[in-house]
Amino acid sequence: MSRPVFFILFAIAFGVLHSVSVHGQGTPSSLFESDDVIAVALKTDFKRLFDDRGDDPQQQPATLSYKDAAGSEYSQEIKVRLRGNFRKKHCNFPPIRLNFAKKASEGTLFEGEDKLKLVTHCQDKKDEYEQYVLMEYLAYRMYNELTDQSFRVRLVQVTYEDTDGNRKPITRYGFLIEDDELMAERNNGFHLDNHTGYHQESTDYSQILMMAVFQFMIGNTDWSVPALHNIRLISTEESQLPIAVPYDFDFSGLVNTNYASPSPKLPIKTVRQRLYRGYCRPQEEVSRQAEVFQAKKDQFYTLIKGMEPLSRVVRGNAIDYLNDFYKTISSEKRMRRAFENTCQQL
């Protein structure tokens, strides 16, 4: 089927699919309406969970509990399994997917949720890994400042309790990521699952430029629209073309994990080196995007400075890294060097 025909049929079907999706969801989630840190406890058999690292990890029972602002305690039975690609293979404490039963979640903070990604600290005995979690959380928050067509996140402090007693309880920072479908519904659209092969320029024109500049700002080259690598596509009533929504920023220079490295196919040696991976655009379009990022500068810096669990060193390195980006977009000469010399040709 040709692209034009696809989008005509897509537009006709949109109203029906959108109506079914939204009206079938039930009570909207309030989980991501606040930025307050949530203290939760997650109980399960962690040995069994961490031993299941295959391509199709199975769900297992778990208990999630928390206290609300008034001190009332809530506890519910959920299902958990491992998730992720790189981190599932390389972390001794990999990311986890939480699966909620709708009835069990009624009247709780998680009402309306279905499946949530929990980004964990990856390594138990290395403090810097918890710092990485906090920095990746901030990367999501920065993108939220630019557009609602982004994944919302909620910082959590999780106490992990092993039901079999094989591990001592530990408490670490993590964060929850909004569900794909709920993110799309919040934007009056729906998620295009497994629609690979899209060219960057087959997505929303202005949004893909902003996203590519954002990835340049945080020093992230670990994404691809055609391969749907760390990208989700959504379609909304406001856009005739799909919108590319990024996620997974742990390989960015801003987060600066010790395990991150750029693809050997790219002309950079470390993730701290920025490389623009968007397509070539007229300089005036790039300059207009630079103005958007200039307008958000104070919000970005405030996010970093206000993240108290971050060490002073990590916070200072992040600010220095952003300073370099703003130095680039404050000079026409530097902008041409950064965005014209390395942009991809159609």
Say what the pLDDT of residue 128 is: 96
Angle between helical axes of 127-146 and 297-305 (0-180°, round to 10): 150
Say what the pLDDT of residue 55 is: 86
Say what the pLDDT of residue 2 is: 44
Closest to 255 in 3D by CA, of 129, 113, 122, 110 = 129
- Mind listing the pLDDT tens digit of every residue in the chain (346 residues)? 444 444 434 443 444 344 333 333 444 578 999 999 999 999 999 999 999 998 889 999 999 999 887 888 999 999 999 998 888 888 999 999 999 998 888 889 999 999 999 999 999 889 999 999 999 999 999 999 999 999 999 999 999 999 988 889 999 999 999 999 999 999 999 999 877 778 899 999 999 999 999 999 999 999 999 999 999 999 998 888 999 999 999 999 999 999 999 999 999 999 999 999 999 999 999 999 999 999 999 999 999 999 999 999 999 999 999 999 999 999 999 999 999 999 998 7
Tokens of 98: 């939480």
3-state secondary structure string across 190-203: EECCCCCCCCHHHC
Residues 339 and 275: their CA atoms lie apart, in Å, by 8
Say what the pLDDT of residue 294 is: 98
Say what the pLDDT of residue 193 is: 84
- pLDDT, tens digit, for every residue of 1-55? 444 444 434 443 444 344 333 333 444 578 999 999 999 999 999 999 999 998 8
Q: How many CB atoms lie within 10 A of CB 128?
A: 14
Say what the pLDDT of residue 212 is: 98
Residue with tokens 């220095």: 320
What residues does 38 pair with on adjacent strands? 156
| DSSP character at residue 28 | P
Please answer whether residues 171 and 42 qualify as being in contact, where contact means their C-beta atoms are separated by less than 8 angstroms.
no
Instruction: Give domain limits for the chain.
Output: 31-181, 188-340
Say what the pLDDT of residue 51 is: 94
Q: Say what the pTM is.
A: 0.91
Say what the pLDDT of residue 22 is: 38
For residue 208, the surrounding DSSP H or E stretch is helix 205-218
Q: List, in sequence order, the alpha helices (H) in 3-151.
A: 3-23, 46-51, 86-90, 102-105, 127-146
Say what the pLDDT of residue 195 is: 76
Say what the pLDDT of residue 244 is: 97
Q: Which backbone phi and psi does 26 adopt, to 5 degrees? A: 90, -150
| DSSP character at residue 253 | T
Say what the pLDDT of residue 28 is: 57
Say what the pLDDT of residue 13 is: 43
